[in-house]
Amino acid sequence: MSDPGLTGRIANESSESHESTPLPPLTLDKLERSVRRVGLPRKTWVHVLLFVLTGMTTTVFGFAEVESFRENRPLDVELLVNGYARLAHGDLSVLSGLNFSLPLLLILLAHEFGHYFACQRWRVRASLPYFMPSPTLFGTLGAFIRIQSPICKRRSLFDIGVSGPLAGFVMLLPFLFIGVRLSRVTPGAGAHGPFVFEAPLLLQALEAERFPGVSHANILLHPVALAAWAGLLATAINLLPIGQLDGGHILYAVFGAKAHRRVSTALPVVLVALGYWYWPWYVLAAVIFLFGRRHPLVYDETRLDGYRAAVSVVALLLFLFSICIVPVYTK
């Protein structure tokens, strides 16, 4: 039998012990240290495989672009099919598509590793980039990383969110400049073909400097310029101020949870309105409304410093110079 007295004494001693040694307060720094090791097992081979497959599909698309450009005409879809046939037979002529795929892959790598290294700096667990191969337009649907532990500070949230678009933009700028220099005037080339690529403000400015008085519809973009164009599109979409997109992270870090919640509720309505001119905005609005409006809570009310506030203005300018209401459409 147990001794009630002994049990009572143990309980009292335990209670007194707890009262005499209070727990230290939990700070954001301690919380970061406690969660930074939380994450999923890394399977590097998955990332490598997806990257290799994306390299193949973007190179095949690039082959079709390069050959079409050599013939002074817009993209020929039959050359895309021909490129996959050549790849299947080991024909090395398909490697001419590296003129497109290498710039595009470098832009995407810069964007994603911008996020990744910012996560490393702030001791936030993150995966390596997952690339998404596609057999159709551009040969890829882009890339992403997975954040695998909580982000505890608004400063770290801002740095992680803004670093990708900034790094990707810095990488695409020389390719855009060189690609526009290599482009040529071909009447009607920019307005015909299976896909028509509209020009965001930055591309318009460079075309106006290179080809004064020539309409975008009469400019045949070099494959390097088209790779940079795809990078601009990726930058613009990622900087949409909603949910857990890069722009959503920046919005939350700068203005807080309430502003993020309001904008994330209103923006799908704006996208639905834009869908009148470009139907894919309907799809994006539906996806965001159903799955992408919420943002994990960040337990930090500290306002950003002046430097980061200035960088947020730069991010806004990047968005405005990269976005197109109708980026690409079919004829």
Q: Average the pLDDT over each of 3-12, 106-115, 243-252 and give the range with the smallest value.
A: 3-12
Q: Is 250 part of a structural domain of the chain? A: yes
Q: Is 227 part of a structural domain of the chain? A: yes
| Number of structural domains in the chain | 1
Residues 6+ apart with CB under 8 A from 241: 247, 248, 250, 251, 260, 263, 264, 267
Q: In percent, how much of the chain has pLDDT > 70?
A: 86
pLDDT at 17: 41
Q: Does the pLDDT of residue 3 top 80, yes or no?
A: no
Q: Is 15 part of a structural domain of the chain? A: no
User: What's the CA gap between 140 and 135, in Å, rounded?
Assistant: 7
Alpha helices in 21-153 (DSSP H): 28-35, 44-70, 77-88, 98-121
Question: Which residue in the block uniquely carries the two structure tokens 């015909």?
Answer: 192
Cα–Cα distance list, 151 to 65, 96, 140, 313 (Å): 41, 43, 29, 22
Determine the average pLDDT of the residues in 226-237.
96
Q: Is 144 part of a structural domain of the chain? A: yes
Determine the average pLDDT of the residues in 26-53.
68
Q: Is 25 part of a structural domain of the chain? A: no
Q: Is 22 part of a structural domain of the chain? A: no
Residues 6+ apart with CB under 8 A from 27: none
Q: Is 32 part of a structural domain of the chain? A: no
Q: How confident is the model at residue 29 (pLDDT cuts 50, 70, 90)?
A: low
Q: Would residue 304 be called left, alpha or beta, if left means φ above 0 and alpha means ψ between -120 and 50 degrees?
A: beta
Determine the average pLDDT of the residues in 93-98.
96
Question: pTM for the complete prediction?
Answer: 0.85
Alpha helices in 122-190 (DSSP H): 154-182
Domain that holds residue 241: 41-330
Q: Is 2 part of a structural domain of the chain? A: no
